[in-house]
Amino acid sequence: MKSTFTFLLFCIVLAVCLLFSLPIKKYTNYHYDERQEIIRGKANKYANYTLIIFLAVYFIYDLFFGDKFITLSASVLAFTGILLSVCIFLIYSVWNSAFLQVNQHGTGIFVLYGFIALLNIGVFILNYKNTTFPIENGVLQFTNSLSQLFCGIIFGSVSITYFIKRITDKMEG
């Protein structure tokens, strides 16, 4: 019952987000220029490679050490793969100024991302003592605190990359 309610809530939130994002796209003239599109294509490629390499490395680990050490459940494996590839995509895009669209000012957005990262990591740290990463039969299971940590890492890495990039740009003049 609870999971059905959560799923319904997720669908409603997704529908509302789509409903509001489509008109915004229509009425703003934000777009990526040709260099940004090339950079984002490269970022996509590197993100795909990252996912493939991660899965290959994990496959070899599981093959040789799976019965000796801890392995990941399917959901943790998927979530970690997504985290790694999304991080690579975002960091590469932000570092090459291809994350924000033309005429879009980003400091506010990245401050917000930093705040979201701090909130997520803060909640994770606050709950750290109560947090247990359930390992059943040597398999690490997915938990809420793990998702908070991962979200914190994604938003934090994007925000930090942006501000480091700004500082290096200013130093270069």
For other proteins, give the closer residue by CB, 50 or 96.
96
Closest approach of other proteins to the CB of residue 93, in Å: 12
Extended strands (E) in the chain = 71-72, 135-136, 139-140
C-alpha span between 91 and 113 (Å, rounded)? 13
Closest approach of other proteins to the CB of residue 167, in Å: 15
Taking each helix axis as running N to C, give the angle between helix 144-172 and helix 74-95, from 0 to 180 degrees, rounded to the nearest 10. 10
Residue 152 burial (CB < 10 Å; 0-12/13-18/19+)? buried
C-alpha span between 160 and 103 (Å, rounded)? 21
Q: Going edge to edge, which strands form the sheet with 135-136?
A: 71-72, 139-140, 135-136
For other proteins, give the closer residue by CB, 20 or 27.
27
Binding site for other proteins (CB under 8 A): 33-36, 96-97, 100, 102-103
Closest approach of other proteins to the CB of residue 101, in Å: 8
For other proteins, give the closer residue by CB, 33 or 138.
33
For other proteins, give the closer residue by CB, 78 or 167.
167
Closest approach of other proteins to the CB of residue 113, in Å: 19
C-alpha span between 151 and 3 (Å, rounded)? 21
Closest approach of other proteins to the CB of residue 100, in Å: 8
C-alpha span between 49 and 84 (Å, rounded)? 10
For other proteins, give the closer residue by CB, 82 or 165.
165
